Structures are given as C-alpha cells and as structure tokens.
Amino acid sequence: MFPNHRPRRLRTTPAMRRLVSETAVRPNQLVLPMFVKEGATEPVAIASMPGVVQHTRDSMRKAALEAVEAGVGGIMLFGVPTTRDAVGSGGTDPNGVLNAALRDLRAELGDETVLMSDLCLDEFTDHGHCGVLDAKGNVDNDATLAVYAEMAVAQAEAGAHLLGPSGMMDGQVAVVREALDAAGHLDTGILAYSAKYASAFFGPFREAVESQLTGDRTTYQQDPANIREALRETTLDLTEGADLVMVKPALAYLDVIRAVAEISDVPVAAYQVSGEYAMIEAAAANGWLDRRRTILETLTSIRRAGADVVLTYWAVEAAGWLREN
Ligand code: PBG
C-alpha cells in the first residue's frame, strides 16, 4: 500500500510536534543591541527601525533593566556621539558616550547580564569609516589597530564583559587581546565579528548611529559572494583568541553560520541586523506578514543553522513570547 512512509504521523498533534521539535530558542540566547545618544534628553525614534530608539542615558538604564527582567542573555551597546573627528576620539575617551553608558550600566546591573560593546570607529569618525585614514584616504589597517587597542582598554575599564571588534581590520582580535591582557583585563572577553559582510542590510543602522559615511566598506568587509573567506577570517580570529565568533548579517548568511559552526570550537553568534528588522517590520505594518510568527521563524532558523547566540532588536519582545510558548 502506497505511501509506505508517512512523515505526517509525527505532525498529527501539538503534543507530537512538541516531542520531536529539534530546535529551541531560549531567551538567554538572545542579545539586545541598544543605541545611546550623547546629550539626548528624550529618546529619539529611528524612522527606519520602528520601535527602536536612540536612548538617553536614563532611558537606556530603564530599558536595560527591562531586558534583564525579560531574561535576555546580554546587551550590546552602541554610542551616538555629538561630535566626531578624523580619528574617532570619542571612542577612546573614557567620558565618551559609549564608555559613559557602559559605566552606567555596569553600575546598575553588575554581573546580572553580559554587557557588550561595539568596538569600532565608524560611529565616532567624521568620515564614517571603521578606521583611521591614511594620506590617500584609504582605511589604514595598522594605524587603526593602535586605536582599537586603546578603545578596548577604555571599554574594559568602563565595565564591558565582552568587546565586539566589528571593523574587520586584519589582526584586530590579537591586538585587542594583547592590550586587554597588558592592562590586566584577563577576564574581559572578545566577541569577534569574524564573518562580517559588506551588506546592504546595515542600511537602517546608519540612521541609528547618524553615520557620516559616503562610499562603502568593501575594502574591509567581505564580499557577499564568498564563504571560504569567512572560514579563513574565523580561523584567524580563533587563533588570535576570540572567545565567541560571529556571523553578520544572519538571514541571508545561514549557510555561513552553518559552516562557521562546523569549524568553531567556541560559541557562535549571529547578528540579525537592522535591515532584517526593518524588512519584517515594514511587511508586518502593511499586513503582508504575520509579525510574531515571522520573527520567531527567523530566530529559529538562525539557531537551526548553528548559532548559539542571536543578536536581535526583538530580543525583549521575543523573550516574552518564548516564555509564553
Ligand atoms: C560597525 C557596526 C555596524 C553594525 C554593527 N556594528 C555597521 C557597519 O558595519 O556598517 C550594523 C548593525 C545593524 O545593521 O544592525 N560599528
């Protein structure tokens, strides 16, 4: 009698489906990225990321507490400075917006959550690149490393548990590790943006941090066509001392997440970026997608691909849904 095999049997009841469900998303695996704007007295809405704001130092503290109460695993902080210069001084300044915000949050939350910070210059430079420029206007890899080292120590001193070097400079993980160790920050870890692509999906983020960039990042971020290169970058970051490795963006790079997960002996993170957020919010606002189902489906897919940790702007809301389920 045909068919001999009936996979539908395992889908007959909710209880049966629950029993054989392979992939779970837990709130503690989600990380909430947050923006804090220097000098802001009111939270400022980000038009291309409905529901996400640039926080004041105060509203950030409140939102961080809510995130911890919701059970999210961590918070990734980005700073939006009022002034920028060629070398991104606001990033190394202990009183720069990001370092000040880290200090606030560490004082408020102690070790109750994992506090992470973006270690990159694009928010702080007046040209918007992730590093400093040479005389010809190209991003100068090794001169940038020196700034990252200084920035790393400032962030560790401000209270970050994990630093996220995201500028895709060669040698950045090694330089950050060495600087941290030399300054005695042996327990401050590195969440390395190992496979970071020159992606159109970062579009809304540029508005979120008021980026000054003209041009693109194709001389340092990876070509979306390449996966072997992602494995090379990951291997280098592992050798240089990364505590976690990350793939970014997530949804268009599930194959990369899978491949990285197969070679990594440290936890793998994936970043569901601003454009992934905007895309689903826009479709949901038009009634074209079921918002909650779509969000949970993407998070499940990213986990299924092999990510242990997911950075997502929906972290708090998704954590609430996951507790209900
Ligand atoms: C670099 C950085 C970017 C993002 C995270 N870290 C921007 C870029 O590389 O262009 C993008 C995150 C997002 O789009 O949500 N500081």
**Is 2 part of a structural domain of the chain?**
no
CA angle, residues 131, 234, 313, in degrees to nearest 5: 70
The one-letter code for the residue type at 317 is E
- The answer to whether residue 320 is domain-embedded is yes
CA of 15 to the centre of ligand 1 (A): 41
Tell the residue nearest (CA) to atom 16 of ligand 1. 120
Q: Please list, in sequence order, all residues whose beta carbon lies within 8 angstroms of the beta carbon of residue 149, skipping any fewer than 6 positions away.
A: 175, 176, 178, 179
Catalogue the active-site residues: 196, 248
278-319 residue pLDDT tens: 999 999 999 999 999 999 999 999 999 999 999 999 999 999
Number of domains forming the structure of the chain: 1
As for ligand 1, residues whose beta carbon falls within 6 Å of it are 118, 120, 122-123, 166, 202, 205, 217, 273-274
Q: Which atom of ligand 1 is nearest to the CA of 274?
A: 15
Global pTM exceeds 0.95: yes
Q: Where are the alpha helices (DSSP H) in the chain?
A: 14-19, 57-69, 89-92, 97-109, 141-158, 172-182, 203-208, 228-240, 254-263, 274-285, 291-305, 315-324
What CA–CA distance (Å, rounded) separates 272 from 270? 7
Q: Which residues pair with 125 in a beta bridge?
A: 85
CATH code of the domain covering residue 88: 3.20.20.70
DSSP 201: G
35 alpha carbon to ligand 1 midpoint, in Å? Answer: 11
* pLDDT per position as a tens digit, 131-163: 999 999 999 999 999 999 999 999 999 999 999
- State residue 214's pLDDT score: 86
Which one-letter amino acid corresponds to residue 131?
G
Say what the pLDDT of residue 111 is. 98
| Domain assignment present for 170 | yes
Residue nearest to atom 12 of ligand 1 (CA): 273
Q: Does residue 315 fall inside a structural domain?
A: yes
pLDDT greater than 80 at residue 325: no
Model ipTM over 0.95: yes
Structural domain including 229 reads: 24-324
Q: What is the mean pLDDT of the chain?
A: 97
Q: How far is the CA of 289 from the centre of ligand 1 (A)?
A: 26
Give the C-alpha separation, 178 to 162, whole Å.
15
Residue 11: inside a domain:
no
Token digits of residue 23: 């992939």
Handedness of CA 23, 24, 28, 33 (dihedral sign): positive
Handedness of CA 169, 77, 277, 213 (dihedral sign): negative
**Domain for residue 4, yes or no?**
no
- Provide the angle, in degrees to the nearest 10, between the axes of the packed helices 228-240 and 172-182: 10
Q: Domain for residue 8, yes or no?
A: no
Q: Among 99, 103, 98, which residue's Cα sits nearest to residue 79?
A: 98
For residue 137, is it within any domain?
A: yes
| Ligand 1 pocket test, candidate residues 46, 120, 148, most atoms within 8 A of CB | 120
